[in-house]
A and B are shown apart, each in its own frame.
Chain A
């Protein structure tokens, strides 16, 4: 049985699965239920200065597929709308009752040192394990100069981090917004300010959908809508890239990362951990299925680690990071070709039509016993993977690398590169 114990910035938890700062971690009732379900830690929903904010009615939007399975999710809810004192009392009680779980408190304030320092002092008094600075919320609060309004300006990220770092003994996690052109700028700023770790990604600016009857964005508040924060399975690829960017940037390489973005299964989590995240945070999946989903996440990760011979998370942590490179470092001599397993083929023709219409006309239709025979023309196949992705039958189309005997040669070395540096 694999050891799932995790640690980030000195905060330990029995497993790497934390709930992100969001509606599910709004109060003791939810958090206790989450701990009972087995979550390793939570980041308490963002606290702010009193008086608490007021939320609107109609808060979530969603991107669903035809089976009403959720692909993406969006929300316009603000930070906690409960009083600071009530939150602090509950945090203190929950931490006393669940000493083995990570309890980190998210906070947000205007761009003023006393605001941040005041909040941090009160949070520290609860016995919480750490704080996470919400510099990422992309809706509502940013219009008041908070959240992503700070997170999008590296100098302000650094300044806030510095204020908080100086004011507390607790580890400081800085939660980054993805609504920037280059995630390394705020990440480096957080590091300069003294962050013990970064959490990413916060949600992405979005309009979930347009209600074509109301002619208004969803979620719709009395006929109007506003852009909200996008999350859920659809954002995972964006999050993975940003986590990897930070991990392979020499300035931020040693910055611990709490990975967030579309994690709904043990496999998603393993991918974040393999790219260098130390823990992961989950929100949408819990909001879609309830806290019980941590069960399959825990034993799925554990089973996979057992199968792979990994006894601890450190055994594979960051293992994929070295394989994330710049395009210019890819091997131009590598060649892979689609191979169709005719025994598994069900004759749907999807590989043919997508290759024919949109790729390289490399899958031809022949005749076989009672069905069509789809054949890859190897010399026309560029190894794009499109057919492999659209084939509905697992393992029917595989991509097989060719052994062409050619050595590694990247674009810088490639004679076809007109800007190649000689010698």
Chain B
């Protein structure tokens, strides 16, 4: 679905992109040319056999389609909802040539995986014989769950330690409600755990209730999938004013059921998909005016063109070339954000000396997240991420890492799932040696 054909989410709990019905799925699946070793598969970080699963849908074998997807990406359901397909598989679809309109791969993937999860039947995969090995996974986000699932498939027993009260990571806490309707994150986790062999422990935070040294000692291997759990501070005068909050914590509250009306004017600082998720949700919750301010240009925004368009269609104004300088307030409450207009000079972002003040009753900051590295028991960190080698090994023997806490590719759910999956190859080799 193109943004131009979209009217934005109707409400927080309405699907942003509605699921395909059976008739639409049949028509859309028949558009797939069943290409040989196509670019859409190479463009998928998890390498899903896209023509293979679409062919199965067209063939009336929806369960087979779902198995094809899930065997490459156990979180195919979430990815079908939140993947920026416009820059991944669908961007590579050969139907972009000529017809200028790719096969709706993401929506077809959702069609198949939704059917599988709705079936409520037995788990489509079976565990290998028990290996007698135990692995600790820290973090029940996409990377941790993906890793745990595949480890369990191979016959290993897995304990997942999660700091939050619910599993799912950003799927549960960090994505817009309209992308993950119907408690999908929890349904998907339940589906993954139905494989067996995985035990989830809540309220376990590394460095507090669990420690890497102990995990290393007690388990045959450890997989760290702790994500980037610290929202990056804006670090400007006035950021302690009431009404200046991190976009992620705003999204988390919304996702956990806090639907308090947002009144007045909202300024979102940032240019990524989190900024867009926060801005649109603020608008859905009643904000009178929502402005997304970004310090660079439209072309440099982390949010894809479709996300930007979605924001605009949903009533969000995007203002590029504005770098925040300070927050102003009255009586301890924020009242405005002062920006300096920026420009590119010889490729360098520079201030113009011109100030712009945007009135704000609520400021949501979405300038990125950082690694909480003090709990990593001295593991080497490089460019803000846990340092790993090509086999996802940290410097510490038997400790592996993946997902957002490492830099392996794009910072996307689908990449985290792939990290978890690939790390298992090395973990399995390691613990069988």
Give the B-binding residues of A (Cβ under 8 A): 65-68, 346-350, 352-353, 371, 392-393
Contact = CB atoms under 8 A, between A and B. Distances in A.
Contact of B34 (A347, A350, A352, A371): A350
B94 A348 contact: yes
B97 interface: yes
A421 to B, nearest CB: 47
Contacts of B26: 66-68
A184 to B, nearest CB: 41
Nearest to A371: B39
Given A66-B29, A67-B26, A67-B27, A393 B34 contact: no
Contacts of B374: none
B38 interface: yes
Given A66-B29, A66-B58, A67-B30, A349 B36 contact: yes
Interface in B330-368: none
Given A67-B27, A346-B97, A393-B98, A352 B58 contact: no
Nearest to B57: A66
A346 B30 contact: no
Interface of B: 26-27, 29-30, 33-39, 58-59, 94-95, 97-98
A68 B39 CA distance: 29
30 contacts: A65-B30, A66-B26, A66-B29, A66-B59, A67-B26, A67-B30, A346-B94, A346-B97, A346-B98, A347-B35, A347-B38, A347-B94, A347-B97, A348-B33, A348-B36, A348-B38, A348-B94, A349-B35, A349-B36, A349-B37, A349-B38, A350-B33, A350-B34, A350-B35, A350-B36, A352-B36, A353-B36, A353-B37, A371-B39, A393-B97
Contacts of A392: 33
A419 B39 CA distance: 52
A215 B4 CA distance: 48
Contacts of A65: 30
Which 5 A/B pairs are nearest by Cβ-Cβ distance? A349-B36, A353-B36, A346-B97, A348-B35, A346-B94
A352 B37 CA distance: 10
Contacts of B38: 347-349
Contacts of B98: 346, 393
A65 B36 CA distance: 21
A347 B92 CA distance: 10
Contacts of B34: 350
Query: Which interface residue of A67, A68, A346 has the most chain B CB atoms within 10 A?
Result: A346
A392 B33 CA distance: 8
B341 to A, nearest CB: 37
A352 B34 CA distance: 13
Nearest to A352: B36
Nearest to A69: B30
A352 B38 CA distance: 12
A380 B58 CA distance: 34
Contacts of B95: 346
Contacts of A393: 97-98
A66 B35 CA distance: 17
Contacts of A353: 36-37
A348 B29 CA distance: 16
A370 to B, nearest CB: 9
Query: Which interface residue of A65, A349, A350, A353 has the most chain B CB atoms within 10 A?
Result: A349
A352 to B, nearest CB: 6
Nearest to A353: B36
B257 to A, nearest CB: 42
A346 B101 CA distance: 13
A371 B37 CA distance: 12
Contacts of B59: 66
A371 B93 CA distance: 12
A238 B26 CA distance: 30
Contact of B30 (A66, A347, A349): A66
A393 B97 CA distance: 10
Given A346-B94, A349-B35, A393-B98, 14 more contacts: A65-B30, A66-B30, A67-B27, A67-B30, A346-B98, A347-B35, A348-B33, A348-B35, A348-B94, A349-B36, A350-B36, A352-B36, A353-B36, A392-B33
Nearest to A349: B36
A371 B94 CA distance: 10
Contacts of B35: 347-350
Nearest to B39: A347
Contacts of B39: 347, 371
Contacts of B36: 348-350, 352-353
A375 to B, nearest CB: 15
B59 to A, nearest CB: 8
Contacts of B97: 346-347, 393
Contacts of A349: 35-38
A96 to B, nearest CB: 47
A353 B36 CA distance: 7
Nearest to A394: B98
Contacts of A371: 39
A349 B41 CA distance: 13
A336 B36 CA distance: 25
